[in-house]
C-alpha cells in the first residue's frame, strides 16, 4: 500500500483528493493536515466520507508526514516550496497541486505570484505534471509540479497541432477563450464568489494578464520547440464545476491540407483519459463532471483557415485532484486509471 498524506485537506482540491483516494485500492490515507482544524475528524467536516475516512486532521508538520511514501500539497502557492525540501530529504515523494513547481523561470514566478521562489535548486528537479505530455519523466520523478486547470485543458487541446512534424498553424496568434465554474477560485469567503454575486452572471477576468498564461506558453513552447504566443481570456460562469476552453488557431497551408479529425484521433488513440469526439461534436462540461476525462472536438468552420478546438474537463478532477492521482499511479508503476474510472455524473 502507498502511504499518502495530504497537506491542505479542507479545500476543494483537498476534499476531492480525499474522495478519490478513499476508494483507491493501493492507497492508505496516513495524514491529512489542516492548521485550523487539527484534531477534528475528517468525516465531521466532510460527511460524504463517513465510514470511508476515519482519521483526524493534524498539524501540517513534518513529524506528522514522515510515515508517508508520497505527500500531496493541495495548498496556495508558497506552502509546498516551504516544506518540500525536508520531505524529499526523508525520501518522501511530493506532488504539488499548487503553482510552486510549475514555472521553470524563477523571475516569471516572482512576477506572476508576487513572491520570490525560495527553492530554485529543488525547482530544477521538478517534473511538470501534465501526464499525457511528460509521462516518462513523471515515472521517475521525486517532485511533481502538477499542471493547472486551464493549462491542462488548453495544452491538451493544442498538443496534436504543435507536436506535428511540420508547423500546421500560426503559432504567434493562438486565442484561448476559457470558462470555469466558481470552484476554480477555491474554498474561501470572497464577495465575487457569493451566490448572489456569481449567480445569473457571466464575466471575464484577468484580461490584462492571468498567472496561468506563462505556464501555458511554457508548455506550448516545449511541445513545438518554437516561439509561441497566446491571447488567454478566462471567464467565470455560474456553475460549480467544469472548464470549457474554446481555442482558435489560424491554419497555414500545411494545416489546411491536413485532416484535423484524423490527426487528433490518431494522436490520442492510446490515451485512456482523452476522448476525441466524433466530427461535428460539441462537448459540454456535464459530460466530464466528476471524472478524470478530457473530451475534445476539432472544427474548421466553413472550411476556412481557422480551426476551433473545444476542450472540456472537470477543473477539480482532471484539472487538479484526478490528475494528481494519475501522476501518483505513474510514479508507483500502477495502471494509470487505477482509482480513476468513475463515470461522469449526469444530470
Q: Is the peptide bond before 347 cis (omega within 30 degrees of 0)?
A: yes
Q: What is the pTM of this model?
A: 0.96
User: What pLDDT score does 199 carry?
Assistant: 87
With 0-12 / 13-18 / 19 or more C-beta atoms within 10 angstroms meaning exposed / middle / buried, residue 135 is middle
Question: Which grid coordinates belong to 98?
Answer: 499548487
| Residue 56 per-residue DSSP state | B
For the chain, the straight-line distance linking the first and the last C-alpha, in angstroms and rounded, comes to: 35
Helices (H) and strands (E) in the chain, counts: 12, 14
| Fold annotation for 150-314 | Dihydrodipicolinate Reductase; domain 2 (3.30.360)
Question: Hey, what long-range contacts does 201-204 have (CB within 8 A, 24 or more apart)?
Answer: 201/236, 201/238, 202/235, 202/236, 202/237, 202/238, 203/235, 203/236, 204/233, 204/234, 204/235, 204/236
Residue 36 neighbours by CB under 8 Å, 6+ apart: 10
Question: Which grid coordinates belong to 139?
Answer: 515515472
- The single residue listed with the C-alpha cell 508526514 is 65
Domain chopping of the chain, boundaries: 2-125, 150-314
3-state DSSP helix/strand/coil percent for the chain, to nearest 5? 35, 20, 40
With 0-12 / 13-18 / 19 or more C-beta atoms within 10 angstroms meaning exposed / middle / buried, residue 203 is exposed
Residue 192 neighbours by CB under 8 Å, 6+ apart: 185, 198, 236
Active site residue 149: yes
User: Order of strands, edge to edge, in the sheet holding 57-58?
Assistant: 57-58, 27-33, 2-7, 70-73, 93-96, 143-146, 127-129
User: What pLDDT score does 198 carry?
Assistant: 82
User: What pLDDT score does 142 carry?
Assistant: 98
d(CA 322, CA 263): 26
Mean pLDDT, consecutive 10-residue segments, the chain of 347 residues?
Answer: 95 95 96 91 93 92 93 95 96 97 97 95 97 97 98 98 95 97 82 82 92 97 95 96 98 97 98 98 97 98 97 98 98 98 90
User: What pLDDT score does 252 carry?
Assistant: 97
User: What pLDDT score does 36 carry?
Assistant: 86
User: What pLDDT score does 185 carry?
Assistant: 79
d(CA 243, CA 187): 17
User: What pLDDT score does 193 carry?
Assistant: 77
User: What pLDDT score does 192 carry?
Assistant: 77
Main-chain dihedrals φ then ψ at residue 168, nearest 5 degrees: -110, -15
- The single residue listed with the C-alpha cell 491536413 is 258
Q: Class of the 2-125 domain?
A: alpha beta
Amino acid at each position: 500500500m502507498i502511504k499518502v498524506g495530504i497537506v491542505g485537506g479542507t479545500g476543494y482540491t483537498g476534499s476531492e483528493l480525499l474522495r478519490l483516494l478513499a476508494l483507491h485500492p493501493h492507497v492508505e490515507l496516513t495524514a491529512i493536515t489542516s492548521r485550523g482544524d487539527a484534531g477534528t475528524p475528517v468525516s465531521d467536516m466532510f460527511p460524504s466520507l463517513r465510514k470511508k475516512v476515519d482519521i483526524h486532521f493534524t498539524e501540517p508538520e513534518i513529524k506528522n508526514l514522515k510515515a508517508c511514501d508520497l505527500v500531496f500539497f493541495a495548498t496556495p502557492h508558497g506552502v509546498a516550496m516551504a516544506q518540500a525540501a525536508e520531505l524529499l530529504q526523508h525520501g518522501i515523494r511530493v506532488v504539488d497541486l499548487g503553482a510552486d513547481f510549475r514555472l521553470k523561470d524563477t523571475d516569471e514566478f516572482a512576477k506572476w505570484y508576487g513572491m520570490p521562489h525560495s527553492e530554485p535548486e529543488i525547482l530544477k528537479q521538478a517534473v511538470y505534471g501534465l501526464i499525457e505530455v511528460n509521462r516518462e519523466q513523471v515515472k521517475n520523478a521525486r517532485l511533481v509540479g502538477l499542471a493547472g486547470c486551464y493549462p491542462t485543458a488548453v495544452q491538451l487541446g493544442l498538443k496534436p497541432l504543435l507536436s506535428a512534424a511540420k508547423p500546421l498553424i500560426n503559432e504567434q496568434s493562438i486565442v484561448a477563450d476559457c470558462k470555469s465554474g466558481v470552484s476554480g477560485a477555491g474554498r474561501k469567503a470572497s464577495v465575487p464568489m457569493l451566490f448572489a454575486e456569481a449567480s445569473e452572471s457571466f464575466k471575464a477576468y484577468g484580461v490584462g494578464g492571468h498567472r496561468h498564461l506563462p505556464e501555458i506558453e511554457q508548455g506550448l513552447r516545449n511541445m513545438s520547440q518554437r516561439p509561441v504566443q497566446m491571447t488567454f481570456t478566462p471567464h467565470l460562469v455560474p456553475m460549480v464545476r467544469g472548464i470549457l476552453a474554446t481555442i482558435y488557431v489560424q491554419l497555414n497551408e500545411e494545416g489546411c491540407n491536413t485532416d484535423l479529425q484524423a490527426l487528433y484521433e490518431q494522436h490520442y488513440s492510446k490515451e485512456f483519459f482523452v476522448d476525441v469526439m466524433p466530427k461535428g461534436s460539441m462537448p459540454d462540461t456535464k459530460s466530464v463532471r466528476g471524472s478524470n476525462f478530457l473530451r475534445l472536438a476539432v472544427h474548421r468552420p466553413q472550411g476556412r483557415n481557422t480551426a476551433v478546438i473545444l476542450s472540456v474537463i472537470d477543473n477539480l478532477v482532471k484539472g487538479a485532484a484526478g490528475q494528481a492521482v494519475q501522476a501518483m499511479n505513474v510514479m508507483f508503476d500502477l495502471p494509470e486509471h487505477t482509482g480513476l474510472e468513475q463515470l461522469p455524473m449526469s444530470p
